[in-house]
Amino acid sequence: MKFDLGIIGGGPAGYTAAFQARAKGLSVVLFEKDKIGGVCLNKGCIPTKAIMHSAELYEEMKCASDLGINCSDITVDYAKVVERKDKIVEKLRKSLELALKNAGVVTVNAEATLSRISDFRAAQAEIQPSPIGRGEYLIQAGGEVYECEKIITATGSVPRDFENMRFDHEFVLNSDDILNLKTLPKSIVIIGSGAIGIEWARIFSAFDVDVTIVEMAEHLLPLADTEVSKRVERIFKAKKIKTYLSNCVEKIENKKVYLSTEDVLEPEIVLLAAGRKPYPLDNALSCIGDACGKIQLAHFAIKQAAAEVSGIEFNEELVPSVVYGCPEIAWVGKREQDLEEGTYKKSNLLISALGKSHCDNCSDGFIKILSREGKIIGAHIVSKEASALIQQITIAMQNNLSIDDLKKVCFAHPTYSEGIFECLFK
């Protein structure tokens, strides 16, 4: 079978490339050895947010009397929480599979191997790295052989462990395992405080689990602006989430976690959330998406695919980051700790200054905008709806709008968006 384009990997990068290619009239075959949708749909973004919604609702209901609503005997059926998560994932996956079929993408649910046609009979083939292959290639999958004029590999990533911290999938869990728990633990140690660690700390804390975070950096969420990290630490302290900062795990043995400070922790389970490692194909072309080893975010993968297939350019320095929960955490552009003092202007607005935040009973947080010569160079937000707010600023930065341009925009009231407007005058 011959195709214009073969895509190995059915995650956000892979399926976006497939849709873009079909829109250009190319014949496309998409290979996925597991489930269409990749990590984001099946083991990451979507299932985590589904569980988080239940956690946030439960946490809010515990304080419902403050809002004039009397609730009693509020309990959690975690098995049903997980069941709802599974239904959402299945529904979205079936919708995606149907969309691919309707677009005319041939989907092959099998592991794919790749080699040059010229080297098909050779034991090993050497293929020059390139996101899209030049020349004809063979892809073997499910006992069939596919000839493709061009190849995109988008094979994703897998959870990372270490020699002294190996996943056993019973006591030491990865981000895949944690999604399949049917009951809540009484206590958990989370190693790492990136987006995965922070979000699961929020979920478990909301469900009344005793949560401890171990982070080797000086602050939680080390990729964020330092002011953001400090605010998260304050919020976590108020929620009685214990943290061990500037600390390392020496070993995990006999269901005990030994720290470099000689502290010994004895949780019911451990979540090792120390990032993900690329999963490129052996002897494959260089990849897009998580496997390329750059920014491991679904929206970055989607933009890479659009750029690769359709030539739609985007600025890799303006990729927004979001950590979910209440309040949300989001940022784009430069961090303050990376800027030389005196070369920028900083504007801050407390979220408590916004009437909408008090109506929503979520007034903790701030908006921070960094600018230079009248243009925004970075923004950092801790707030409800921060994921939407950061997108507004990203659009302004992408289009090189000045602060004076933004001041001319009429922001609705009462909203969180008007906080951007007010922050610009600080």
Looking at the DSSP bridge assignments, the partners of residue 28 are 5
DSSP state of 47: H
Listed residues 274, 296, 329: the one ending a domain: 274
> What would the two tokens of residue 117 be?
């046609």
Residue 193 domain-assigned? yes
Q: What is the DSSP string of 262-304?
A: S-EE--SEEEE-S-EEE-PPTT---BSGGGGSS---HHHHHHH
Q: Does 200 share its domain with 234?
A: yes
pLDDT of residue 283: 52
- Segment 124-133 mean pLDDT: 42
SS3 content of the chain, % helix, strand, coil (to 5): 35, 25, 40
Is pLDDT of 133 > 70?
A: no
Q: Does 306 share its domain with 341?
A: no
Helix (H) or strand (E) holding 368: strand 366-372
Residue 315 domain-assigned? no
Q: For 7-29, how does the pLDDT look when each residue is reduced to its tens digit (9 = 90+)?
A: 999 999 999 999 999 999 999 99
Q: What is the CATH number of the domain that holds 368?
A: 3.30.390.30
Predicted structure pTM score:
0.93
Helix 45-62 to helix 78-103 angle (10° resolution) is 140
Closest CA relative to residue 269, chosen from 343, 360, 167: 167
pLDDT of residue 85: 98
Determine the structural domain holding residue 403 and report its residue range. 321-424
Helix 12-23 to helix 298-310 angle (10° resolution) is 30
- pLDDT > 70 in the chain, percent: 93
> What would the two tokens of residue 201 be?
């700390």
Residue 316 domain-assigned? no
Q: For 60-72, how does the pLDDT look when each residue is reduced to its tens digit (9 = 90+)?
A: 999 888 889 988 8
Q: Does 303 share its domain with 335?
A: no
Q: Does 165 share its domain with 234?
A: yes
Q: What is the CATH number of the domain that holds 183?
A: 3.50.50.60
Q: ω before 414 within 30° of 0 (cis)?
A: yes
Residue 200 CA to residue 271 CA, distance in Å, equals 9
Residue 52 domain-assigned? yes
Residue 284 domain-assigned? yes
Question: In this structure, are residues 386 and 398 in contact, taking their beta carbons and an 8 Å threshold?
Answer: no
Residue 311 CA to residue 20 CA, distance in Å, equals 10
Q: Does 114 share its domain with 145?
A: yes
Name the residue type at position 347: S
DSSP state of 162: B
Q: Does 165 share its domain with 147?
A: no
Q: Does 133 share its domain with 282?
A: yes
Q: Does 153 share its domain with 216?
A: no
Give the chain's mean pLDDT. Answer: 92
Q: For 278-300, how does the pLDDT look when each residue is reduced to its tens digit (9 = 90+)?
A: 886 655 566 899 988 889 999 99
Q: How far is CA 83 from CA 2, 47, 179, in A?
A: 41, 10, 11
- Segment 222-227 mean pLDDT: 98
Q: Does 193 share its domain with 99?
A: no
Q: Does 10 share its domain with 135?
A: yes
Q: Does 387 share its domain with 412?
A: yes
Q: For 297-341, how does the pLDDT look when each residue is reduced to its tens digit (9 = 90+)?
A: 999 999 999 999 999 989 999 999 999 999 999 999 999 999 999
Q: For 36-47, how does the pLDDT look when each residue is reduced to its tens digit (9 = 90+)?
A: 999 999 999 999
Lowest-pLDDT range of 4-13, 120-129, 229-238: 120-129
Q: Does 261 share its domain with 287?
A: no
Q: For 169-192, how does the pLDDT look when each residue is reduced to its tens digit (9 = 90+)?
A: 999 999 999 999 999 999 999 999
Is pLDDT of 131 > 80?
A: no
Domain count, the chain: 3
Going by their DSSP bridges, the two strands 112-116 and 106-108 should be labelled as: unpaired
